[in-house]
Amino acid sequence: METGQGQVQARDCAVAAAVRELADAVRATVPVPPADPDALLTAEEVGELLQLSPRTLKDQAAAGVLPHHRFGKHYRFTRGDVAEIVRLSAAPVRPPRRRVPLAELAQDFRVA
């Protein structure tokens, strides 16, 4: 009976070691969370996250298209701002306006 318990303990240790190894592998693939989740991100950091040019982010923020915070000449983005930018980029794009031929437009102004 002693050998049966020894085998069970050895198997349990092997399973625990395998679980620890798997957990370490998963932790290695997950990005490290930021030390301060409320930290403000620079345009360069947001550009790297979203694969956009920092200049484009700054230009769009200056035009009022993107949510941001400005400190002097510096643009900063909260994680909420980044989430809103992602939401805005997923919004459907309006279809282009239909061009009306001049002849069709002129019919509207002809005297009956």
**Distance between CA atoms of 112 and 107, rounded to whole angstroms?**
10
Written as six digits, the tokens of 78 are 């909260």
Burial class (CB in 10 A: 0-12, 13-18, 19+), 66: buried
Percent of the chain with pLDDT over 90: 42
Give the pLDDT band (50/70/90) at residue 112: low
Q: Does this model's pTM top 0.75? A: no
Q: What is the pLDDT of residue 1?
A: 47
* pLDDT per position as a tens digit, 38-71: 889 999 999 999 999 999 999 999 999 999 999 9
